[in-house]
Amino acid sequence: MSAYHPLSEAQAIEYARQIPNLFQSGSELTSHEIGDGNLNLVFRITEKASGKSIILKQALPYAKVVGESWPLTLDRARIESEALIIEEGLVPDLVPHVYAYDADLALTVMEDLSDHIIMRRGLIERNEYPLFAEHIGRFMANTLFFTSDLGKNQQDKKIQQGRFINPELCKITEDLIFDDPYRDAETNSIEDHIRDAAEQLWSDSELHFEVAILRQKFLTSAQALLHGDLHTGSIFIKPDSTKVIDPEFAYYGPMGFDIGAVLANLILNFAGQEGWSKDLESRKAYRAYLLQTVKDVWTHFEANFRALWNEHGVDRVFQAPGYQDYFIKNLLQDTAGFTGAKMVRRIVGLAHVADIDKIEDSAARERAQRLALAIGTSFIRANRQVASIDELIAIVTKESAVERGFVL
Amino acid sequence: MSAYHPLSEAQAIEYARQIPNLFQSGSELTSHEIGDGNLNLVFRITEKASGKSIILKQALPYAKVVGESWPLTLDRARIESEALIIEEGLVPDLVPHVYAYDADLALTVMEDLSDHIIMRRGLIERNEYPLFAEHIGRFMANTLFFTSDLGKNQQDKKIQQGRFINPELCKITEDLIFDDPYRDAETNSIEDHIRDAAEQLWSDSELHFEVAILRQKFLTSAQALLHGDLHTGSIFIKPDSTKVIDPEFAYYGPMGFDIGAVLANLILNFAGQEGWSKDLESRKAYRAYLLQTVKDVWTHFEANFRALWNEHGVDRVFQAPGYQDYFIKNLLQDTAGFTGAKMVRRIVGLAHVADIDKIEDSAARERAQRLALAIGTSFIRANRQVASIDELIAIVTKESAVERGFVL
């Protein structure tokens, strides 16, 4: 079974059976392929007697997005597996446990999280997750700090960076986030009713200038090992637990890119409340929850990150008076810019979010899209100026309540 | 001869003889080991009949600096050889030709440049090199542009970056340039008569803040494949030719680090004129030449770099109006900071420069040291503000002529 081939369900069972200390020998196992087949096979293997289950995730040698298919490196399975193992070493409660990784088969065997739901769905259902901000703030603080030059031996960091050169998946980000939305690209997916707003994006040279700054940071700023795709579809959640999955985009990049992914997807859902909230009161309440969460995510991140820096900083020079504040201010500014870029691309770019696209009422959907674009572009414009998370919150409030005539 | 062992002169001849199309078969070859034995063996192999000669450079598995010896990776020979080959592809007239590279023996066979002299010596002898600024400006513009995300396919750049993870040699830079000079480190080498100035460096927390910013850039800003050690001791020169050698510190870092190395070493020689110029008139004349060269190096670099960007830019997004100017301004600011850091370390750090250390008159040497420290620290402080090369020139003029009471 060593040469790569996509596994059948029977082969997946056979494979799982070989892993030591997982299932009772000879026990009955069942398998269900539960992936969407676009990028990976995902088998859930269950032991009938105990009910114990695991996930076997195998990379496919191609990607299918919106009908197109292109070859994609199997090395992303190694990257995902190695990133998960590094993350587990830092925040064991916040990622699925990895039981095994098979390089030849591009396959990772990991903890089954089917008692959780995908957070994007949870937000669309307007659930509240009071522990999420603490969890994700701690996840990002620990994974970003301890893989960076602030918290990791700087020679070991370079060697680790060499293992996370991830050109193919970075290319997807570079095109879909930092290029295509700002020109009339074939890959874009734009609803007719917001074509005017898209065209405005394409002709706004001041915005292009700010996007160039963000693109350059993504390409060159090797601050920390990023998750690289930390949207709410990469988070499994239930009220008392948060698990970050799917780090196949992991690479050394600017920390604000991960933080921005979380904030952007919270704010996209905020915009989507145009279509999801049944009445004005419940919309206001859920939006207030989301905005508080945006603020709390940053606050928990910052508090954790500063504490790690003070207690576990490996670098004498970075203890210079004022430098930590300067670093955090720059990080918030990067976060603002990346948040905006990630919002814009979800409205006019190739891959959208269900929080907005699944709104059936097209007038409400259009309001949500325009609101997301207004907030996103304002965040991009703020990327070199913003000085506090409250200023970012104020942008959301202003764009939704005042400028665009929407009721918060 | 495949397992690594340091070559004898006879073995060096034998090795050179095997290289195709180099020497006549059976011709008499002589070898002289001309290295200083600190890091590498350097054999010059000459064919008696034709006078043709080549250099065979072999890395030693240790480094000796100021009596100390520590193990050092032989992989630096690969890095040096690969960097030379990349540079030769971009600016063939400005680097020695590589005839062969042997990974097992950590050995590079290259063009002999013994008709050139080391530029540091040339400057100490107060020679003028009217083509140097154009040469080095073009060298840096081409090597930095075409290895960066501005001029190279961005996926290929990442893969190339993975071949230039250079932790051991980066560690030397990180310690000796961005840490030790700013604390009472054992590795520092400080003359008693400037101990007060060194202690001032150690207690200046505003300076430490700026050094932290520069250190972070060196650690994380993977803009381009740097030479990594581009001082005047890494440049062979004669009036009509400039050859950049010894890129064993090559890695992906901030462009301003290379430019700063060139400017710093010109200005260190400027400071050294306290001891070298025979009379006031000749000192003024040579300093004027050096300052003009500092300006010309930047000007040639900038003009070449902008032309390459306009003609060979690979990235649509970076054509955004105003972005090139913004990038160049930031690059000048980085250059200012790195210039300053490289000057300071040559006065109080481990490795000094002959331009200053070889001044016999200790009062003149002290004046040169204090002037270099004053200019260096001013450059570091200017790293986030400077807006033109003329402002940097003005700092040099001011520190030498006005504030410190020296005559330009």
Q: What is the DSSP string of B329-390?
A: HHHHHHHHHHHHHHHHHHHHSS---HHHHT--SHHHHHHHHHHHHHHHHHHHHTTTT--SHH
Reported ipTM:
0.95
B111 marked as binding residue: yes
Distance from CA of A209 to the nearest CA of B (A): 5
List the domains of chain A with CATH numbers.
Answer: 9-111 (3.30.200.20), 117-403 (3.90.1200.10)
Which of chain A's residues have a Cβ under 8 Å away from the Cβ of B322?
205, 209
Which of A154, A223, A317 is opposite residue B212, by nearest beta carbon?
A317
| pLDDT tier at A65, thresholds 50, 70, 90 | low
The pLDDT value recorded for residue A81 is 96
Which of chain A's residues have a Cβ under 8 Å away from the Cβ of B318?
212, 215-216
Enumerate residue ranges in chain B where pLDDT < 50: 1, 403-405, 407-408
Please state, in angstroms and rounded to a whole number, the distance separating the CA atoms of residues A390 and A398: 12
Helix (H, G, I), strand (E, B) or coil at A224: strand
Which of chain A's residues have a Cβ under 8 Å away from the Cβ of B317?
178-179, 182, 208, 211-212, 215
Give residue A370's identity as a one-letter amino acid code.
R
Parallel, antiparallel, or unpaired: how do β-strands B107-111 and B53-59 relate? Answer: antiparallel
Distance from CA of B110 to the nearest CA of A (A): 29
Please state, in angstroms and rounded to a whole number, the distance separating the CA atoms of residues A298 and B10: 66
Flag if B221 and A220 touch (Cβ within 8 Å): yes
Please state, in angstroms and rounded to a whole number, the distance separating the CA atoms of residues A311 and A142: 12
| pLDDT tier at A403, thresholds 50, 70, 90 | very low
Closest C-alpha among A260, A174, A204 to residue A374: A204
| pLDDT for A375 beyond 60 | yes
The pLDDT value recorded for residue A207 is 98
Distance from CA of A111 to the nearest CA of B (A): 32
B202 interfacial to chain A (CB closer than 8 Å): no
**B132-146 helix and B280-312 helix, angle to the nearest 10 degrees:** 30
Return the C-alpha torsion angle B183, A161, A386, A318, nearest 10.
-10
A–B CB contacts, 8 A cutoff, strictly below: 114
Give me the residues of A, 217-246, that contact B with CB < 8 A: 219-223
Q: What is the arithmetic mean of pLDDT over A218-245?
A: 98
The pLDDT value recorded for residue B39 is 84
Please state, in angstroms and rounded to a whole number, the distance separating the CA atoms of residues B398 and B26: 62
| HSE value, Cβ hemisphere, 13 Å, CA-based, for A375 | 34
Task: Report the share of chain A in percent with pLDDT over 70.
Answer: 96
Give residue B124's identity as a one-letter amino acid code.
I
Which of A216, A225, A249, A324 best tests the B interface by mutation, with the highest count of B CBs <10 A? A216
Q: Is the dihedral of CA A238, A239, A240, A245 positive or negative?
A: positive
Give the gyration radius of chain A's Cα atoms.
Answer: 21
Q: What is the arithmetic mean of pLDDT over A335-354?
A: 97
User: How is residue A8 annotated by DSSP?
Assistant: P
Residues 6+ apart with CB under 8 A from B368: B271, B272, B273, B274, B275, B356, B359
Q: What does the mean pLDDT of chain A come to?
A: 94
The pLDDT value recorded for residue B369 is 97
Which of chain A's residues have a Cβ under 8 Å away from the Cβ of B215?
315, 317-318
**B323-348 helix and B195-203 helix, angle to the nearest 10 degrees:** 130
Identify the closest residue of chain A to B167 by CA–CA distance: A155
Q: What is the arithmetic mean of pLDDT over A380-398?
A: 97
Tokens of A110: 């990991």
C-alpha pair distances (Å), B213 with each of A244, B362, B380? 32, 34, 10
Helix (H, G, I), strand (E, B) or coil at A255: helix
Residues 6+ apart with CB under 8 A from A354: A120, A121, A124
Tokens of B109: 């066979």
